[in-house]
Structure 1
């Protein structure tokens, strides 16, 4: 009896996840067009969209010095902004955190930071 067919390998799955997240970040950037500070948010989402697309195309790029530097700088920026938003929400939230604009922004920054950290650690 033949062994069961193996599914896609871990590398193919990782590439597919990065392609999916790149599409998610690109879509998040696209829907910012009617935001008062759209230019800022488009950049906040497009940087991880491009970085994750690069990882999806070639997972080894996550070990590249330039890729790691850009992602690290972006993560520091996102963490600092997320902390300031969390501090603001802690003292000014009137309703459910996701009903507040700052709550949704905080959630987006957390997703960006978490995914970029995962990509960053995948180079090891």
Structure 2
């Protein structure tokens, strides 16, 4: 009887832990834009200087301002696992841009946002 109780307890713990690991759908749901025809910029960073560079490029490009209505900066280490789930390297200093369904662009170079902006009004 003790073995049965122990086995049942271990099964419950295993099921609980399995449910705590986010999958790609869970991560996308947190990152995608909630507004049709608008983009959401997700910035994974641990450097205020780099965040400033991203912001400077974003604010200097009218097309980016038109389409990217929201930007979120992720500084927490536990959010890096989201990058792995999305098939990206788990490292800081990355910009991800999402529409309402999927990631549409990513870069490690804030200046590359200018090239992305050129594709938005086509």
TM-score by length of 2: 0.24
TM-score normalized by the length of structure 1: 0.24
Please say which structure displays the higher CA radius of gyration: 2
Q: Which has the higher helix share?
A: 1
Greater fraction strand = 2
